[in-house]
Amino acid sequence: MSVLVASVAAGVLPGAPIRAAAQDPSVTPTAPRSTAPTPTAPTPTPTSTDSTTSAPGAGVAQGLTLAPQPPAGWPTVPVSTARAVMAVDATTGQVLATANVDERVQVASTIKLLTVLTALDVLSPDQQVTVGQEVAGIGGSTAALDPGDTWSVRDLVAGALVRSGNDAAEALALAAGDGDRDAFLAMMNDKAASLGITGATIADPSGLEDVNLLSARDLVVIGREALATPLVAEIAASRTWDLPSTGVVPNRNLLLEQREDATGLKTGTTDLAGASLVGSVRNGTGPDAHDLLVAVLGARNDDQRYLETNAVFDWVEAEFAREPVVVGARIRLPGEWIGDVVTLDVWSPAVPEVDTTLAVDGSSVVSELSLPSGGQLGEYVATADRPPPSSIGESVVAKLYDGMRQAHELGMWDS
């Protein structure tokens, strides 16, 4: 475990270096800069290792940003025939692999993840829907719906995800759009925008028409939202589902048969799109488990998409370890405080290094995470919304440099 914690209130610095950054105490610090991927889903709040109640005082902006692509010195992801590949830790948002991740391409039925997420924003799972002519004669994969059938929204979602039913996707679109397909497409675009996805082409709820253009990065964002939505995650992970039209049917996502740790999510195949998969697995058990997510777009055929997806999951678990890294600092001052000490789970081929900078007026703390080779993994920032009084700032400076002097005299400080 890599640990670097500053405790200025006690006037004692640990042996690991903490750099003092010059800063004008009269200037209010700006918010932490963001290096997070765009678009991205929100990163979960890191776990605090200090449960002590903070003293009242200045408000604090705290945030973790992770690199939008793997750093220099990162192992190379195995890619064979796929047009694009992206792998992330869906629990934290850490990017583990990228290959052509921002090109917008046809994505076939993987769009149904966005379709069901959009529909569930306005429809309840137990709501009953009577389908109409929108399901008549529809091509491609179906859930065997007929005009006049009445299904719950939950079963329609299962029909769209488990059986990749184009009819179920169209039925959800009409139900959620109050009978207006174009209105629902506008809702899908709004949903994508709310997740940070801009510039994508979203014009078909089923993916059958091959007019949707999204990137691997877009699908990873949508996949993270799917995993964070309990009903969608439950249905996507189901090996079978009992549909009203057919009885018990298997999930078309064969990753669920190939891996015990698989949890979803959605396949997609057309002539233009090739064979694609947004796949997920659970790494670990219990409260420490993380979800890994891989988007493979445009593989040569059905078998190849599973081979390549499995290869990426196996590569992650063989090349990297989840390293618990402690970053940040809690600084206690009279009437003021900033920062926190947090533990991050970071995937890395080597134990990450942490370099923490403390502003000399006590107004901000920055911890940078990097590989021993120098590639940056991410950054944790805590910034007070106003600087502490100058007298307190002077006290911080005095304690900081006194700590540096003591550490140097004890041989614990690199000159």
Place of tokens 């691997």: 216
Q: How many CB atoms lie within 10 A of CB 258?
A: 13
User: What average pLDDT does range 137-154 have in this prediction?
Assistant: 97
Residue closest to 62 by CA, chosen among 325, 324, 369, 328: 328
Report the pLDDT value the prediction gives residue 356, as an integer from 0 to 100. Answer: 83
Tell me: pLDDT of 28 over 60. no
Q: Is the pLDDT of residue 21 over 50?
A: no
The per-residue pLDDT for range 309-326, each reduced to its tens digit, is 999 999 999 999 999 988
pLDDT tier at 156, thresholds 50, 70, 90: very high
Name the residues annotated as catalytic. 109, 112, 164
- Residue 188: both structure tokens together: 């899908």
Calculate mean pLDDT across residues 1-28.
32
Instruction: For residues 330 and 16, give the distance between their C-alpha atoms in angstroms, rounded to a whole number.
Output: 16
pLDDT at position 61 is: 65
Question: Mean pLDDT score of the chain, rounded to an integer?
Answer: 82
How far apart are the C-alpha atoms of 245 and 158, rounded to whole Å?
12
Residue entry with tokens 């996507």:
236
Contact 404/14 with Cβ under 8 angstroms? no
Distance CA 347, CA 152 (A): 41
Instruction: Express each pLDDT in 114-123 by its tens digit.
Output: 999 999 999 9
What is the domain partition of the chain in residue ranges? 2-63+322-409, 104-274
Question: How far is it, in rounded angstroms, from Cα 60 to Cα 126?
Answer: 42
Which CATH superfamily hosts domain 104-274? DD-peptidase/beta-lactamase superfamily (3.40.710.10)
Q: What is the pLDDT of residue 415?
A: 43
Tens digit of each residue's pLDDT (9 = 90 or more) over 199-244:
999 999 999 999 999 999 999 999 999 999 999 999 999 999 999 9
pTM above 0.95, yes or no: no
Tell me if 312 sits within 8 A of 323, measured CB to CB.
no
- Give residue 222's identity as a one-letter amino acid code: I
